[in-house]
Amino acid sequence: MSQPFDLCPGHHESMKAKTTMPEGHKKRKAGESSTDAASVQHLRPGMVLLKGFVKPEDQIKIVRMCRQLGSGPGGFYRPSHKNGAKLNLWMMSLGKNWDSTTRSYGPTRPFDGVQAPAILEALKTMAQAANATVSEFPQINPDICIVNYYTNSGKLGLHQDKDESKGSIDQGLPFISISIGDTAEFLFGVTRDRDKATKVNLESGDVLILGGESRLLFHGVSHVKTNTTPTWLKEETGLRPGRLNLTFRQY
Protein backbone atom coordinates (compact mmCIF):
# COMPACT_ATOMS: atom_id res chain seq x y z
CA MET A 1 0.00 0.00 0.00
CA SER A 2 1.43 3.36 -0.98
CA GLN A 3 1.96 6.03 1.65
CA PRO A 4 -0.23 9.15 1.85
CA PHE A 5 2.75 11.29 0.84
CA ASP A 6 2.39 9.90 -2.69
CA LEU A 7 -0.67 12.20 -2.80
CA CYS A 8 -1.77 10.65 -6.10
CA PRO A 9 -1.22 6.85 -5.88
CA GLY A 10 -1.23 4.90 -9.12
CA HIS A 11 -2.45 7.87 -11.12
CA HIS A 12 -1.45 7.99 -14.75
CA GLU A 13 -2.06 10.76 -17.25
CA SER A 14 -3.97 8.24 -19.40
CA MET A 15 -6.49 7.77 -16.57
CA LYS A 16 -7.45 11.40 -16.75
CA ALA A 17 -11.12 11.93 -17.43
CA LYS A 18 -12.35 14.81 -19.57
CA THR A 19 -12.84 17.32 -16.84
CA THR A 20 -14.95 20.40 -17.03
CA MET A 21 -13.20 23.24 -15.28
CA PRO A 22 -15.24 26.12 -13.91
CA GLU A 23 -15.92 28.47 -16.86
CA GLY A 24 -15.21 31.74 -15.08
CA HIS A 25 -11.73 30.55 -14.21
CA LYS A 26 -10.84 29.40 -17.71
CA LYS A 27 -11.19 32.88 -19.16
CA ARG A 28 -8.67 34.47 -16.82
CA LYS A 29 -5.15 35.03 -18.01
CA ALA A 30 -2.15 33.53 -16.22
CA GLY A 31 -1.16 35.55 -13.18
CA GLU A 32 -4.65 37.01 -12.77
CA SER A 33 -6.35 36.04 -9.56
CA SER A 34 -9.87 34.69 -9.43
CA THR A 35 -10.76 37.01 -6.58
CA ASP A 36 -13.48 39.61 -6.80
CA ALA A 37 -14.47 42.03 -4.07
CA ALA A 38 -17.28 39.76 -2.85
CA SER A 39 -14.92 36.93 -2.08
CA VAL A 40 -12.61 38.85 0.24
CA GLN A 41 -13.64 38.25 3.85
CA HIS A 42 -12.15 40.35 6.63
CA LEU A 43 -12.56 37.95 9.56
CA ARG A 44 -10.92 40.20 12.16
CA PRO A 45 -8.22 42.89 12.11
CA GLY A 46 -5.18 41.29 10.50
CA MET A 47 -7.05 38.23 9.23
CA VAL A 48 -8.31 38.04 5.67
CA LEU A 49 -9.79 35.09 3.79
CA LEU A 50 -9.60 35.16 -0.01
CA LYS A 51 -12.28 32.67 -1.06
CA GLY A 52 -11.42 30.67 -4.19
CA PHE A 53 -8.36 32.80 -4.90
CA VAL A 54 -6.20 30.09 -6.47
CA LYS A 55 -7.22 29.37 -10.05
CA PRO A 56 -8.04 25.73 -10.91
CA GLU A 57 -4.98 25.38 -13.14
CA ASP A 58 -2.78 26.66 -10.31
CA GLN A 59 -4.44 24.27 -7.84
CA ILE A 60 -3.56 21.41 -10.20
CA LYS A 61 0.02 22.70 -10.46
CA ILE A 62 0.29 22.90 -6.67
CA VAL A 63 -0.77 19.26 -6.28
CA ARG A 64 1.76 18.17 -8.90
CA MET A 65 4.59 20.24 -7.39
CA CYS A 66 3.84 19.00 -3.87
CA ARG A 67 3.66 15.43 -5.07
CA GLN A 68 7.04 15.78 -6.77
CA LEU A 69 8.70 17.49 -3.81
CA GLY A 70 6.90 15.32 -1.27
CA SER A 71 8.11 12.01 -2.63
CA GLY A 72 11.75 13.16 -3.05
CA PRO A 73 14.57 13.91 -0.57
CA GLY A 74 13.31 16.25 2.14
CA GLY A 75 9.74 15.22 1.32
CA PHE A 76 6.72 14.32 3.45
CA TYR A 77 7.24 12.59 6.80
CA ARG A 78 5.23 12.17 10.00
CA PRO A 79 6.58 14.75 12.49
CA SER A 80 6.56 14.17 16.26
CA HIS A 81 6.20 16.39 19.28
CA LYS A 82 9.01 16.62 21.85
CA ASN A 83 7.27 13.87 23.88
CA GLY A 84 7.42 11.50 20.90
CA ALA A 85 3.70 11.66 20.05
CA LYS A 86 3.15 11.93 16.32
CA LEU A 87 1.26 14.87 14.83
CA ASN A 88 -1.89 13.92 12.91
CA LEU A 89 -0.49 15.03 9.58
CA TRP A 90 2.36 14.61 7.08
CA MET A 91 4.73 17.51 6.67
CA MET A 92 7.59 18.86 4.61
CA SER A 93 9.47 22.12 4.98
CA LEU A 94 10.74 24.25 2.12
CA GLY A 95 13.41 26.95 2.40
CA LYS A 96 14.37 26.02 5.96
CA ASN A 97 13.43 22.97 7.99
CA TRP A 98 10.97 23.44 10.83
CA ASP A 99 11.80 20.95 13.58
CA SER A 100 8.62 19.91 15.40
CA THR A 101 10.52 18.58 18.44
CA THR A 102 12.45 21.79 19.17
CA ARG A 103 9.95 24.10 17.44
CA SER A 104 12.75 25.91 15.62
CA TYR A 105 14.05 26.39 12.07
CA GLY A 106 17.35 25.10 10.70
CA PRO A 107 18.90 24.22 7.33
CA THR A 108 18.60 20.43 7.63
CA ARG A 109 16.30 17.79 9.10
CA PRO A 110 17.83 16.33 12.28
CA PHE A 111 16.37 12.84 11.68
CA ASP A 112 17.92 12.29 8.23
CA GLY A 113 20.32 15.20 7.69
CA VAL A 114 18.56 16.19 4.45
CA GLN A 115 18.49 19.86 3.51
CA ALA A 116 15.06 21.45 3.13
CA PRO A 117 14.22 21.78 -0.61
CA ALA A 118 13.99 25.33 -1.96
CA ILE A 119 10.58 26.98 -2.35
CA LEU A 120 9.71 26.69 -6.03
CA GLU A 121 9.39 30.11 -7.68
CA ALA A 122 5.97 29.16 -9.06
CA LEU A 123 4.68 28.55 -5.53
CA LYS A 124 6.23 31.76 -4.23
CA THR A 125 4.59 33.74 -7.02
CA MET A 126 1.15 32.42 -6.07
CA ALA A 127 1.64 33.36 -2.40
CA GLN A 128 2.89 36.83 -3.34
CA ALA A 129 -0.05 37.38 -5.69
CA ALA A 130 -2.43 36.72 -2.78
CA ASN A 131 -0.37 38.95 -0.47
CA ALA A 132 -0.53 41.80 -3.00
CA THR A 133 -4.34 41.85 -3.17
CA VAL A 134 -4.72 42.97 0.43
CA SER A 135 -3.38 46.48 1.01
CA GLU A 136 -3.44 46.25 4.81
CA PHE A 137 -0.52 43.80 4.72
CA PRO A 138 3.09 44.56 3.79
CA GLN A 139 4.43 42.47 0.93
CA ILE A 140 6.64 39.63 2.18
CA ASN A 141 9.39 37.75 0.44
CA PRO A 142 8.61 34.19 1.52
CA ASP A 143 11.73 32.20 2.41
CA ILE A 144 10.05 29.42 4.38
CA CYS A 145 7.04 27.30 3.58
CA ILE A 146 5.55 24.44 5.56
CA VAL A 147 3.48 22.01 3.53
CA ASN A 148 1.05 19.88 5.52
CA TYR A 149 -0.91 16.97 4.17
CA TYR A 150 -3.91 15.84 6.22
CA THR A 151 -5.64 12.55 5.52
CA ASN A 152 -9.34 12.48 6.36
CA SER A 153 -8.46 11.74 10.00
CA GLY A 154 -5.88 14.55 10.09
CA LYS A 155 -6.06 17.49 12.48
CA LEU A 156 -3.86 20.10 14.14
CA GLY A 157 -4.33 21.44 17.68
CA LEU A 158 -4.64 25.15 18.48
CA HIS A 159 -1.21 26.77 18.44
CA GLN A 160 0.58 30.03 17.62
CA ASP A 161 3.17 30.34 14.85
CA LYS A 162 5.96 31.98 16.80
CA ASP A 163 9.14 30.24 15.71
CA GLU A 164 10.06 32.77 13.04
CA SER A 165 12.59 35.58 13.69
CA LYS A 166 11.75 38.18 16.32
CA GLY A 167 11.87 40.89 13.64
CA SER A 168 9.34 39.08 11.47
CA ILE A 169 6.93 38.55 14.36
CA ASP A 170 7.41 42.01 15.90
CA GLN A 171 6.64 43.64 12.55
CA GLY A 172 3.53 41.44 12.25
CA LEU A 173 4.65 40.28 8.83
CA PRO A 174 1.78 38.21 7.43
CA PHE A 175 1.82 34.53 6.66
CA ILE A 176 -0.05 33.26 3.67
CA SER A 177 -1.84 29.94 3.86
CA ILE A 178 -3.15 28.14 0.77
CA SER A 179 -5.63 25.26 1.07
CA ILE A 180 -6.04 22.56 -1.59
CA GLY A 181 -8.23 19.45 -1.69
CA ASP A 182 -10.72 18.52 1.01
CA THR A 183 -12.29 21.29 3.10
CA ALA A 184 -10.91 21.89 6.60
CA GLU A 185 -12.76 23.22 9.57
CA PHE A 186 -10.24 25.84 10.75
CA LEU A 187 -10.40 27.19 14.30
CA PHE A 188 -9.02 30.49 15.55
CA GLY A 189 -9.12 32.54 18.72
CA VAL A 190 -7.20 34.75 21.11
CA THR A 191 -6.66 31.88 23.56
CA ARG A 192 -5.94 28.15 23.22
CA ASP A 193 -9.50 27.38 24.39
CA ARG A 194 -11.20 25.28 21.67
CA ASP A 195 -14.66 26.03 23.05
CA LYS A 196 -14.17 29.77 22.54
CA ALA A 197 -12.61 29.43 19.09
CA THR A 198 -14.31 30.69 15.92
CA LYS A 199 -14.77 28.19 13.06
CA VAL A 200 -14.34 28.85 9.38
CA ASN A 201 -14.28 26.42 6.46
CA LEU A 202 -11.17 26.50 4.30
CA GLU A 203 -12.00 25.07 0.88
CA SER A 204 -9.80 24.16 -2.06
CA GLY A 205 -8.32 27.34 -3.53
CA ASP A 206 -8.91 29.51 -0.46
CA VAL A 207 -6.09 31.68 0.85
CA LEU A 208 -5.97 32.83 4.45
CA ILE A 209 -3.65 35.68 5.44
CA LEU A 210 -2.79 36.42 9.05
CA GLY A 211 -0.65 39.39 10.03
CA GLY A 212 -0.52 42.55 12.12
CA GLU A 213 -2.49 42.13 15.32
CA SER A 214 -3.58 38.62 14.28
CA ARG A 215 -0.05 37.37 13.64
CA LEU A 216 0.06 35.45 16.93
CA LEU A 217 -3.55 34.30 16.89
CA PHE A 218 -4.16 30.73 18.08
CA HIS A 219 -5.29 28.54 15.21
CA GLY A 220 -5.67 24.91 14.21
CA VAL A 221 -7.63 22.39 12.18
CA SER A 222 -10.40 20.50 14.00
CA HIS A 223 -11.11 18.10 11.14
CA VAL A 224 -11.05 17.55 7.41
CA LYS A 225 -14.37 17.02 5.63
CA THR A 226 -14.46 13.77 3.69
CA ASN A 227 -15.07 13.84 -0.05
CA THR A 228 -15.13 17.62 -0.48
CA THR A 229 -12.28 17.94 -3.01
CA PRO A 230 -13.65 19.43 -6.26
CA THR A 231 -14.30 16.65 -8.79
CA TRP A 232 -12.20 18.34 -11.49
CA LEU A 233 -9.18 18.49 -9.15
CA LYS A 234 -9.51 14.79 -8.26
CA GLU A 235 -9.89 13.86 -11.92
CA GLU A 236 -6.99 15.99 -13.13
CA THR A 237 -4.52 14.98 -10.43
CA GLY A 238 -5.73 11.69 -8.92
CA LEU A 239 -5.24 13.40 -5.54
CA ARG A 240 -6.08 10.93 -2.81
CA PRO A 241 -8.66 11.96 -0.18
CA GLY A 242 -7.24 14.61 2.11
CA ARG A 243 -6.05 18.16 2.26
CA LEU A 244 -2.87 20.04 1.41
CA ASN A 245 -1.99 23.26 3.20
CA LEU A 246 0.96 25.46 2.30
CA THR A 247 1.95 28.24 4.69
CA PHE A 248 4.44 30.80 3.40
CA ARG A 249 6.36 33.05 5.74
CA GLN A 250 9.33 35.41 5.79
CA TYR A 251 11.68 34.09 8.45
Ligand X SMILES: O=C(O)CCC(=O)C(=O)O
Residues 137 and 240: their CA atoms lie apart, in Å, by 34
* Residue 148 binding result from Fe ion, ligand X, none, given CB thresholds of 5 to 8 Å by partner type: ligand X
Of positions 59, 93, 131, 148, contacts ligand X by CB under 6 A: 148
Q: Binding to ligand X by residue 219, rule CB under 6 A?
A: yes
Residue 80 DSSP code: B
Residues 145 and 62: their CA atoms lie apart, in Å, by 13
Q: Is 161 annotated as a binding residue?
A: yes
Q: Which is nearer to Fe ion, 205 or 220 (CB)?
A: 220
CB of 85 to ligand X, least distance (A): 17
CB of 186 to ligand X, least distance (A): 6
Q: Binding to ligand X by residue 214, rule CB under 6 A?
A: no
- Residues with Cβ within 8 Å of 245's Cβ and at least 6 positions away in sequence, in order, are 147, 148, 149, 150, 177, 178, 179, 180, 184, 202, 221
* Burial letters 151-184, b for 16+ CB under 10 A, else e: eeebbbebeebebbeeebbeebbbbbbbbbbbbb
Q: Binding to ligand X by residue 93, rule CB under 6 A?
A: no
The amino acid sitting at 99 is: D
Helices (H), ranges, 97-215: 121-132, 166-170
Interacting residue ranges for Fe ion, rule: CB under 5 A = 161
Q: Which is nearer to ligand X, 11 or 146 (CB)?
A: 146
- How many residues bind ligand X (CB under 6 A)? The answer is 12
Q: Binding to ligand X by residue 187, rule CB under 6 A?
A: no
In what helix (H) or strand (E) does residue 224 lie, and over which residues does it extend? strand 218-224
Q: Which is nearer to ligand X, 156 or 233 (CB)?
A: 156
Of positions 116, 134, 156, 187, contacts ligand X by CB under 6 A: 156
Q: Which is nearer to Fe ion, 54 or 176 (CB)?
A: 176
Name the residue among 35, 170, 145, 47 with its Cα closest to residue 94.
Answer: 145
Q: Which is nearer to ligand X, 20 or 41 (CB)?
A: 41
Of positions 35, 131, 177, 237, contacts ligand X by CB under 6 A: 177
Residues 222 and 158: their CA atoms lie apart, in Å, by 9
Q: Which is nearer to Fe ion, 99 or 161 (CB)?
A: 161
Per-residue x/- track, 102-141, ligand X (CB under 6 A):
----------------------------------------
CB of 161 to Fe ion, least distance (A): 4
DSSP for 140-165? P---EEEEEEE-TT--EEEE----S-
CA torsion sign, 105 to 107 to 110 to 114?
Answer: positive
- Residues with Cβ within 8 Å of 188's Cβ and at least 6 positions away in sequence, in order, are 43, 47, 197, 198, 200, 217, 218, 219, 220
Query: Residues marked as binding?
Result: 159, 161, 219
Query: Residues marked as binding for Fe cation?
Result: 159, 161, 219
Q: Which residue ranges make up the site for ligand X (CB under 6 A)? A: 146, 148, 156, 161, 177, 184, 186, 202, 219, 221, 245, 247
